[in-house]
Structure 1
Amino acid sequence: MADTLIAVEVVYALADRQQLLRLSLPKGASARDAVLRSGMQAYFPELDLAGCPLGIFGKALPSPEQRLLEEGDRVEIYRPLLVDPKEVRKLRAAKAAQARSGERDA
């Protein structure tokens, strides 16, 4: 009996370009399987497909190797953060506080 296939998408985006690939995988394939089989490496050779963080429809997957895909899932390959968002918020708040303090002194 032939394996049942499901249709999924794998996407990756940079600031200046993105790639969406559609593929058919055997039912029971994981999110990591989809990324490794997608061929995305041909478009973005710098990608570490075996270790990069993944998500499905905007929700990060804690263990992509264990998340089995369903028909129509869109697996997203995430880029590493260049700056910690919490740190950016702290710096922005400190700068705003300093600006308010300067206004009071004037």
Structure 2
Amino acid sequence: MVPAERPGRIRVELVWSPVAGDVRHAWLDLAEGSTLEQGLRSCEAFADQLEHLGQFKLGIWGRQQPLSYGLRDRDRIEVYRPLKVDPKEARRQRFQAHGGKRIVSRHRPLAGKGG
């Protein structure tokens, strides 16, 4: 449940994934004018990730932002881990693992095309 609005305060959401398959979420109650960095540092649940802060890319609603970004009420802070492998390279590896055959995704059918 969202508490009643308080003057001079903003409420933002923080979402991060310390490891693949583990998504964490926290609501932060901050002073108006707080920066992205201040928001991250205020979250106790995120404290173990602060030492790695320079390795992460940060975004608000899917758009990359610097630590100095001024937060607004209802912003969603997203912390992006570095990729372990380039997505194009991972696709090439999957293609080769299947013997060079086209990989058909169950989410995007070929719509009658041969594969």
Task: Report what 2:61 is aligned to.
Answer: 57
Q: Is the 8 A contact 1:41 1:47 kept in 2?
A: yes
Give me the whole-angstrom Cα distance separating, in 2, the residues matched to 1:5 and 1:21: 16
Deviations 1:31-56 (A, max 9, x none): 121111111335xx355353222111
TM-score by length of 1: 0.66
Give me the whole-angstrom Cα distance separating, in 1, the residues matched to 2:76 and 2:34: 13
Residue of structure 2 aligned with 1:48, choices 42, 46, 51: 51
Identity of aligned residues (%): 33
How many residues align? The count is 92
| Higher RCO (CA-CA < 8 Å; seq separation 6+) | 1
Q: Structure 2 vs 1, CA of residues 17 and 36 (structure 1 numbering), >3 Å: closer, same or farther? A: same
Task: Report what 1:19 is aligned to.
Answer: 24
Alpha-carbon RMSD across the aligned residues, in angstroms, is 2.7
Structure 1: 5+ residue stretches without partners: 101-106
Q: Is the 8 A contact 2:12 2:27 kept in 1?
A: yes
Task: Report what 1:30 is aligned to.
Answer: 35
Task: Report what 2:11 is aligned to.
Answer: 7
Query: How far does residue 16 in structure 1 lie from its aligned partner after superposition?
Result: 2.8
TM-score by length of 2: 0.62
Q: Is the 8 A contact 1:30 1:67 kept in 2?
A: yes
Give me the whole-angstrom Cα distance separating, in 2, the residues matched to 1:49 and 1:71: 26
Structure 2: 5+ residue stretches without partners: 1-6, 102-115
Aligned residue for 2:40, secondary structure, equals helix
What are the within-5 Å matches in structure 2 for residues 66-105 of structure 1?
66-88=68-90, 95=96, 99=100
